[in-house]
Amino acid sequence: MDQKIINIILAVMLATGLVTAADFRSFKRDVKRSGAVTEQANPPLTQKLEKKLDGAGRTSPIVYRGLVFLGDLTGKIWAFDASGDKADPVWVYKTAGKVISSLVAEKGVVYAISQDGKLYAFNYATGQVLFTYNIGSKDSSSPAVYGGCLYGATGYPNTTVYCFNLTSHAMAWTKNVGQYVYSSPAFGDGIVYIGANNGCLYAFDAYTGETKWFFQTKGDVYLSSPCVSADGNWVYFTPGGDVKKLYALNAKTGELKSGWASVDFGTTYAVVSSITEADGVLYFVSGAAPSILFAVNSSDGTQKWSRPLDKPSASNMVSSPVAVNGVIYVGSAANKLYAVNAADGTVLFSYTTSAPVLSSPAVANGKVYACAGENGDGYLYIYQASKASAITYPEDGSAVSGVIDVKGIIVNSALTSYKLEYCSTTEASWIKINEANTIPADGIVGSFSTEGLKSGAYSLRLTANDGTALNSKGVIGFSISFALALNISVTVASGGTATGTDGTQVVFDPGALSADDTVTIDQPAAGTYSNSASGYPLNFTASTIVRSFALTNSANIYPNLFKKTVTVSLPYGGTNGVGGANENNLRIAVWDTVKSKWLIVNTSKVVKAGGGAGKVTATVSHFFSPTYYRIFEFTGAADLINKDTVYSYPNPALGNNAVFKCFLGSDADVTVSVYNVAGEIVARLTASGLGGNGLEIPWNIKDYASGVYVYKLEAVAAATGERKYVTKKFAIIH
């Protein structure tokens, strides 16, 4: 029985982008650097692609949204079709330095660090450079994205660990550790762990850079990266060099685990790989002659088994292992990729390559990826597993809402049936979603409805039955470490921004509030708003994307208004899909509890992110307690403007201001011409608006005489050039 388990956040206050569940988005796959893959990809493997690169491929490949990304020693960044069916790259970009660090992908962007000293951000699909930043050092540390920031470490000539804010494109903090750092950062519960070449493992506060603790050894560390345990309680670390031990340290304090064996894994100086954890076992490679793959029990540090691989690398690099449901994939300097039985260390299969495999393999969607090359030629290899099962949609660790079509792949010639199930992490029982004998052509293995489910962490499991129990023990999943209901403090003086992991957001500018407060973002429970079409705005259809925003201080709640308008943003795309809707026509509506209707927020606008994803934003003047916002699609109106929905207010206009308002049937440019009783034009006002929105055009009337005026409001459709106007009267009284 082959199983794949994938954790999802059902808190559904937050959404996700268009991603693939089985993606391998960074070195060692996740921010814990576990190296554990939550799918099945069993050998024997069939080679689908051997692609010669322009230079040696020392980076570990990453897989994201149907593409595989890597760098080479000529400084090129490559993107290939991840299927292995196409030999030509999707795009290539040439930097001015070697690319040794592995890439990382997040929210439609691929980040790469070149030894020309720059950080590059690319549109993952096109290779367009979105921005660059001069780090000023020859990095070899593979970066990670955590909490909206990119973390890495500088190699020669700098000696710093850094946190780079991906919103402001500026360094949030840097920490000088006094030694070159080539190790890659790992994360757990707001702490970043990284080793330096002085043999020290550091733990820094991920948000401030404050040193939480450090653990000093007499080793070298070099390229070895730590690994955070699945439960987040321990950090596994091996310095290598003259210290040939594996350590388990308390993640909060840095203290050595009581009773830990710390068995020597060699007698000579050795470079050591990064550590992988899966099913209670730690795997790593020692680069001494010969290179040896070790398996160590994570409970006490005792050795489970060891497997000699091949000769060591002349460049002091060793491949880091990847654990895939009972199989360990690891490369060697003797031009081989190995598939090793995780239970006893026996070699199941080995595959000859045209160059050394010194980087870590990647596994995604039933395929195994490896880069080869040390100094000369480089290669990318893509292999198809003979037996595979994976959930390909939604993304591992994502937040979902509404009804999700779960997609999966199963490669199994003996398949008799499959089952899709879910469970809450607070309950042990699995609940069946769907069961069938064959995978449909569209890959949808079942539809999962979140209706009525509480916010919390859940898991999906795809089980492929072939009459055997192979790898049924190898089911693992990601733990979810962030809160499911977002509560953020905001102040009058400083304002504040509350942002979910998917981009759901509310922004309070300084001075917007009347009193300090706490804002909460969540998903409304079923029944707190209407799903009946009778409550929808005219010419609009509803999406499943609904969020609640709440404040607690009555001074900030309607009928009290904000001192400054506040911006809310609702993301769409991926599990928070909009069902093939026209992105240009997406709008935000607010739930009116008195009228029991959804009302379009007239300041709605779309900000596209590409690939069918983006966000809808709106500025608002008040919150109810709570306020529900929902994404709707405008389906079009018969009239560009309508006489009944063109008006001015107040009428008569008193004081210094008047407003002209209309509702638009499509995107249009609007001109308001104001005439006095003599027919002379006294003012001309212009604005542009979106179809489905109400457009308000203010006019300062302070210097205009009291009396009756005529205004002509003319709209010109942006797409067709259609013109229509309405003429009406209004009065000014001072």
Residues 6 or more apart whose CB falls under 8 angstroms from that of 679 comprise: none
Task: Dump pLDDT digits (tens) for 577-594.
Answer: 566 688 888 999 998 877
Peptide bond into 43 cis (omega under 30): no
Token duo for residue 199: 């043999």
Task: Dump pLDDT digits (tens) for 210-231.
Answer: 999 999 988 788 788 999 998 8
409 and 362 inside one domain: no
Contact 463, 2 (CB under 8 A): yes
589 and 669 inside one domain: no
Please tell me the predicted confidence (pLDDT) of residue 473. Answer: 27
Domain count, the chain: 4
Closest by alpha carbon to 187, among 479, 500, 456, 457? 479
261 and 229 inside one domain: yes
Instruction: Compute the C-alpha angle 181/186/192, nearest 5°.
Output: 80
Task: Dump pLDDT digits (tens) for 112-159.
Answer: 999 999 999 999 999 999 999 999 878 779 999 987 789 999 877 888
pLDDT band at 632 (very low <50, low <70, confident <90, very high): very high
Token duo for residue 14: 């937050």
Out of 340, 372, 390, pick the residue that ends a domain.
390
Any domain includes 50: yes
- Average of pLDDT values for 34-38? 90
Partners of 62 in the beta sheet? Answer: 69
Q: What's the order of all strands across the beta sheet hosting 62-64?
A: 62-64, 67-71, 76-81, 91-94
3 and 112 inside one domain: no
Start-to-end CA span in the chain (Å) = 82
Please tell me the predicted confidence (pLDDT) of residue 401. Answer: 62
Closest by alpha carbon to 403, among 447, 459, 453? 447
Task: Dump pLDDT digits (tens) for 292-312.
Answer: 999 999 999 999 999 998 877
282 and 378 inside one domain: yes
pLDDT band at 482 (very low <50, low <70, confident <90, very high): very low
Burial of 152 from C-beta contacts in 10 A (0-12 / 13-18 / 19+): buried
Sole residue written with tokens 């008193």? 654
Calculate Rg over the CA atoms of the chain. Answer: 29
- Average of pLDDT values for 175-200? 90
Map residue 321 onto helix, strand or coil. Answer: coil
pLDDT band at 421 (very low <50, low <70, confident <90, very high): confident
502: pLDDT strictly greater than 80 = no
Peptide bond into 290 cis (omega under 30): yes
Task: Dump pLDDT digits (tens) for 396-412.
Answer: 766 666 677 888 888 88
Any domain includes 336: yes
What's the one-letter identity of residue 558?
Y
CA–CA separation, 481 vs 460, rounded Å?
Answer: 17
Closest by alpha carbon to 343, among 234, 468, 236, 472? 472
379 and 427 inside one domain: no
Token duo for residue 343: 């239970």
Any domain includes 106: yes
Contacts of 610-613 spanning 24+ positions with Cβ under 8 A: 610/108, 610/123, 610/125, 611/17, 611/18, 611/65, 611/108, 611/125, 611/573, 612/18, 612/573, 612/583, 613/17, 613/18, 613/108, 613/571, 613/572, 613/573, 613/574
Closest by alpha carbon to 146, among 20, 232, 32? 32
What's the one-letter identity of residue 358?
L
296 and 398 inside one domain: no
Please tell me the predicted confidence (pLDDT) of residue 14. Answer: 26
169 and 289 inside one domain: yes
Any domain includes 32: no
- Average of pLDDT values for 506-521? 92
pLDDT band at 478 (very low <50, low <70, confident <90, very high): very low
CA–CA separation, 27 vs 273, rounded Å?
Answer: 12
708: pLDDT strictly greater than 60 = yes
Give the CATH number, domain containing residue 605. Answer: 2.60.220.30
More confident residue, 211 or 481: 211
Contact 54, 540 (CB under 8 A): no
- Average of pLDDT values for 444-454? 75
Any domain includes 173: yes
pLDDT band at 331 (very low <50, low <70, confident <90, very high): very high
224 and 86 inside one domain: yes
Any domain includes 244: yes
Out of 344, 365, 390, pick the residue that ends a domain.
390
pLDDT band at 595 (very low <50, low <70, confident <90, very high): confident
Please tell me the predicted confidence (pLDDT) of residue 454. Answer: 61
Out of 365, 390, 415, pick the residue that ends a domain.
390
Contact 263, 22 (CB under 8 A): no
CA–CA separation, 16 vs 400, rounded Å?
Answer: 7
432 and 536 inside one domain: no
59 and 96 inside one domain: yes
Token duo for residue 295: 């398996």
**pTM of the predicted protein model:** 0.67
CA–CA separation, 156 vs 679, rounded Å?
Answer: 76
Residues 6 or more apart whose CB falls under 8 angstroms from that of 657 comprise: 698, 699, 700, 701
Instruction: Assign 3-state DSSP to the chain and report helix, strand, coil percentages, each to 5.
Output: 0, 50, 50
288: pLDDT strictly greater than 80 = no
pLDDT band at 474 (very low <50, low <70, confident <90, very high): very low
Q: How far is CA 366 from CA 5, 45, 419, 672, in A?
A: 14, 10, 18, 61
12: pLDDT strictly greater than 50 = no
The pLDDT mean for the chain works out to 86
Q: How far is CA 601 from CA 534, 537, 617, in A?
A: 18, 11, 10
Q: What is the share, in percent, of the chain residues with pLDDT greater than 90?
A: 54
Any domain includes 25: no
Map residue 602 onto helix, strand or coil. Answer: coil
Token duo for residue 298: 């994570």
Closest by alpha carbon to 12, among 525, 444, 422? 525
- Average of pLDDT values for 521-544? 78
pLDDT band at 69 (very low <50, low <70, confident <90, very high): very high
Any domain includes 23: no
CA–CA separation, 671 vs 678, rounded Å?
Answer: 20
Closest by alpha carbon to 179, among 203, 201, 151? 201
State the residue range of the domain holding 653. Answer: 643-733
Q: How many CA atoms lie within 13 A of 59 on its CB side?
A: 36
Q: Which of 95-104, 275-284, 420-429, 685-694 has the lowest mean pLDDT?
A: 420-429
DSSP 478-517: ----S-SSEEEEEBTTTBEEEE-TTS-EEEE-TT--SS-E
More confident residue, 71 or 15: 71
CA–CA separation, 91 vs 185, rounded Å?
Answer: 28
186 and 231 inside one domain: yes
Task: Dump pLDDT digits (tens) for 88-101.
Answer: 999 999 999 999 99
CA–CA separation, 573 vs 237, rounded Å?
Answer: 38
Residues 6 or more apart whose CB falls under 8 angstroms from that of 519 comprise: 487, 488, 490, 496, 498, 506, 508, 549, 550, 551
Q: Which of 74-88, 207-221, 264-278, 638-652 has the lowest mean pLDDT?
A: 264-278
475: pLDDT strictly greater than 50 = no
